[in-house]
Copies of this chain bind each other. A is one copy, B any other.
Amino acid sequence: MDVAVIGASMTQFGQRDAWIRELIAEAGEACLADAAVAPDEVDHLYVSNMASGEFEGQGGIMNALAHDLGLMPAYSERVDQTSSSGGAGIYEAWQSIASGASEMTLLVGGEKMTHRTTAEATDVIASITHPAEYKHGVTLPSFAGMTARHYLERFDAPRDSLAKVAAKNHANGVDNPHAQFQKEVDVETILDSPIVADPLRLYDFCPITDGSAALLFCPVDVAEEYTDDYAVVSGIGGATDTHVVHEREDPTVMGGVVESGRQAYEMAGIGPDDVDVAELHDMFTILEFLQMEGLDFADHGEAWKDVEDGRTERDGELPINTSGGLKSKGHPLGASGVAQGYEIYKQVIGDAGPRQVEADTALACNVGGFGNCVITTIMEASQ
């Protein structure tokens, strides 16, 4: 059964004076309004969220949301796949429709983080890594630093190329009213910012963010009762890689990206050349290179050249992170994959405003942990 997306929303991302329950209610309500679908039409509700318990001492948020939006007796569930919980939510929503279990599925991703210190948030996030590494103090930023150093040296890539990823995504974020940072940042500022995990500096990292995003799914034949402008989830795949990062044969290859991308391309019956625009998981600048290569947008070790050449800018051949990416938009863990879905949905239905590019086919790659689990989603325009 072909699965459609008929509505989307996202809240303002940033430092929000609202708890997780309020954030997901805001996005969920706006998504139903966007599609003009009534609460009692919703069969299944998925809430992508990594750690409301750890961050806020709040459990059961999916049941609270079903109540707050008046969705009862809809089935509700919380989906956790660490930082790719949003992408996993898209996959679960897809399965709920494709299996016939649901005819209308609401997916809401959200996370409330900024009330905790950076150290506290980093520690919660580090608990998703393997204890063998966690207990030795290896956090995700330190994996990113080591990987970046290895990549730059091995492929003779200039340090500037990483900074240009951040500068590009910040430039895109200027046109995203929901982004946490709506300001340009030049390469010099990035290269002069404080070192976090050598060679990566402050501006190579996404911020800590509160926010929520939502998508509404149904079978294509149901979608056509509501709108002519919908997106079809034409390809989707999910995959794990070694949980112990240092066991990987090549630290510059994320196996989960490669495998989830392969599945998504195969299901959609397309290849990387058919993708018009992509949202990649730039939690750290180096990750944009690894995903470009893992998804075959560039050869291994050569993604940095595309960034240098401007190929991935908004007016380039393959625009990447037109939303501003996690870098400028922010990264509320459970929301990020759903917000990627929001952007590619808006691009393929032609409703991306000043960020609009020419796009019939769009791809999103949502990375959990340090590539421990990855979801790749492809959406195509209905017309």
Contact = CB atoms under 8 A, between A and B. Distances in A.
B127 A58 contact: yes
A21 B132 CA distance: 13
Contact of A54 (B54, B63, B77, B373): B54
A64 B94 CA distance: 25
B76 A78 contact: no
A101 B98 contact: yes
A207 interface: no
- Of all A-B residue pairs in the complex, the 6 with the closest CB atoms, nearest first, are A60-B128, A67-B243, A75-B238, A98-B99, A99-B99, A59-B128
Interface string A55-89: 00111101110111001111111111110000010
Interface of A: 21, 45, 50-51, 53-54, 57-60, 62-64, 66-68, 71-82, 88, 91-92, 94-101, 124-125, 127-131, 237-244, 255-256, 259, 368-369, 372-373
Which of A54, A243, A255 has the largest count of B CB atoms less than 10 A from its CB?
A243
A91 B75 contact: yes
20 contacts: A53-B53, A53-B54, A54-B54, A58-B131, A59-B125, A60-B127, A62-B81, A63-B128, A67-B130, A72-B242, A73-B241, A73-B259, A74-B240, A76-B81, A77-B238, A78-B80, A79-B80, A92-B95, A98-B99, A99-B99
A92 B98 CA distance: 12
Nearest to A247: B67
A60 B96 CA distance: 23
Nearest to A256: B73
Contact of A243 (B63, B94, B125, B128): B63
A102 to B, nearest CB: 9
Contacts of A238: 75-77
Nearest to A262: B73
A83 to B, nearest CB: 10
Contact of A255 (B58, B73, B244): B73
A59 B53 contact: no
B372 A60 contact: yes
Contacts of A127: 53, 57-60
A143 B322 CA distance: 50
Given A77-B92, A95-B95, A373-B76, A64 B239 contact: no
